[in-house]
Amino acid sequence: MSRAEAPRGRALGALTFGALGVVYGDIGTSPLYALKEVFARDRVPLTPDNVIGVLSLVFWTLTIIVSVKYVLLVLRADNNGEGGLVAMLALASNAVRERPALRRGLLLVGIFGTAVFFGDGVITPAITVLSAIEGLEVAAPGLHRYIVPITLAVIFALFAAQRFGSGVVGRFFGPVMLTWFVTIALLGALHLADNPQVLVALLPHHALGFMLRHPGMAFAALGAVVLCVTGAEALYADLGHFGKRPIRTAWFSIVMPALLLSYFGQGAMLLAAPQDVVNPFYELAPKWALFPLIVLATLASVIASQALITAAFSVTKQVVQLGYLPPLRIAHTSVRETGQIYMPVVNWTLFGFVVFAVATFGTSGALASAYGIAVTIDMTITTVMTFFVVRYAWRLPLALALAATCVFFVVDFTFFAANAVKLFEGGWFPVAIGIGMFTLMLTWKQGRRLIREHRRHESIDLASFLEALFVSPPQRVRGTAVFLHVEAGITPFALLHNLKHNKVLHEQNLFVAVVLHEVPWIGFDKRIQIEPLGHDCWQVRLHYGFKNEPDMPAALELLQGRGIELDPMQTSYFLSRDTIVPTLGGGMAMWREKLFASMHRNAASMADFLHLPANRIVELGSKLEI
């Protein structure tokens, strides 16, 4: 089935079931902690009017942010069928390509949003697993001291299992999450049946009245209410995996009804038993069902965490191919699905931060303050990007573009402001991670630009060099030499060093430049460009999108039948291995130059990044001062 075709029948059911397990794990586990945090620490006094007002805020938050903004609007902003903040960034920046200053600003905003996503990737496993295990306090208060150790053990097992790939356990995501949604819906419905008057909260005037009567209290409540939409970005991020219709079908038919039944059931129970406010989700269950519910909640939280970890791998790979991070070692965990990858550095770095978060904050309540600010930053940035897509990519009138996004911006910014006041209560944590990642990404991007400028300054035009070389040609040897260089048309340093030290030239010589584009996919029909340079030499350009898998040997096979015959056993790949030397003056600040040098030194080799055969590589070193 092509991407353009809408799935139907059995295919729609399968994709909807898959989306249930992968897309909705994070938002599906938010009932574990969202309503609890609204009333925690007497943020909102537990009165009937306040319960109704908060439930109304929850309902309209889910409706406006998830149903209308993400499901109905943002899912339309696909980039060749792909979604997510990186795809949105590429779509928006390409739409304003003719406005360089605006484009640079959008890139900075989008890259910062991507950096903050890694903070979200740290907090999600910490808060979801911790909130699930905290059910032990309800089942057996004496087990309180074991909550953090058990949480750390579950998290360690989760991250340790990543190297085996998500494909094996992924097939259980759908059934587990379906069981989860049915369970929380039934538990909520039982209490809702005892106290159905809370359904008046569906009317918007209860939310508005609550905010008008108690503006300060409502503002504080919004900082916790936003937790009910954590994971909304996943709807858009997983667009390429499932398509719009299955994601929308799963939301409106299963996820949203189950979430509302759970939240309204908790509200109905709190009206009847205010003393259960400490952990209203687990108080929904009868005593005999508590331990099975804890196990099910833990499985659901692991699935929510798995989705974020997998997304972190995917986003890192995309950011690498956009040129904002150095190449990192990638292990493919499936021979059939190229998207199933494992990145050891990303995995264990995330694990270290998650352990730090659990050990430092200790409870899901303390982590909730940190969670909201990461979520609202990305939600606000997505809305800003959506405006530029609607205005410049879809070319809709300015008034319509503003109408489509202004309401969402006001809502998102209000939620952000409500969480920003909690910066010193824990909100600093994801912001610090985001700023750190943002610094790394900009340092790498600028450092690579300095290298290109250095190369360009000292470069020799390739065509002119070859013309002079063949006036008195060196000895030719059998086989093909593939010289990788940063920019087409410039003589690769590896060629100069090879001629200097080995004093030979191969029968065939390919000068290959890898061009990475701000689109998800470049098809095989546009993968390769060749330009003859004479004397059995060719300039080759390989084109990849940020979701393509760069594989140079596979791409070069496309040259067969185009005047270039390659024998893999007679082909050698020549690369320049640069050593970066930070210097005072120009370039970047010295600390950033040292940071870049360290990143460059520890990056995975281009040979691994481009899947070059290890026994056919020749690396020639050089020093570069920046």
pLDDT in tens, 289-318: 999 999 999 999 999 998 888 888 888 988
Identify the three-state secondary structure at position 479.
strand
Q: What is the mean pLDDT of the chain?
A: 89
Quote the pLDDT of residue 413: 94
pLDDT bucket at 191, cuts 50 / 70 / 90? very high
Identify the three-state secondary structure at position 551.
coil
The long-range contacts involving 492-498, CB below 8 angstroms and separated by at least 24 positions, are: 492/574, 492/576, 493/455, 493/576, 493/620, 493/622, 494/574, 494/575, 494/576, 494/618, 494/620, 495/574, 496/460, 497/576, 497/620, 497/622, 498/574, 498/618, 498/620
Region of poorest pLDDT, from 375-379, 448-452, 512-516, 583-587:
583-587
pLDDT bucket at 1, cuts 50 / 70 / 90? very low
Rounded Cα distance between 323 and 89, Å, is: 14
Give residue limits of the domains in the chain.
16-445, 460-625
Query: Which tokens in the block code for residue 399?
Result: 């008034």
Quote the pLDDT of residue 170: 59
User: CATH number of the domain at 16-445, out of 3.90.76.10, 3.40.50.12170, 3.40.50.970, 1.20.1740.10?
Assistant: 1.20.1740.10
Quote the pLDDT of residue 167: 56
Quote the pLDDT of residue 578: 79
pLDDT bucket at 423, cuts 50 / 70 / 90? confident
- For 542-562, the pLDDT digits (tens) are 999 988 889 999 999 998 888
pLDDT bucket at 4, cuts 50 / 70 / 90? very low
Quote the pLDDT of residue 231: 85
Half-sphere exposure of 271 (CA within 13 A, CB side): 22
Buried b (16+ CB within 10 A) or exposed e, 473-483: eeeeeeebbbb
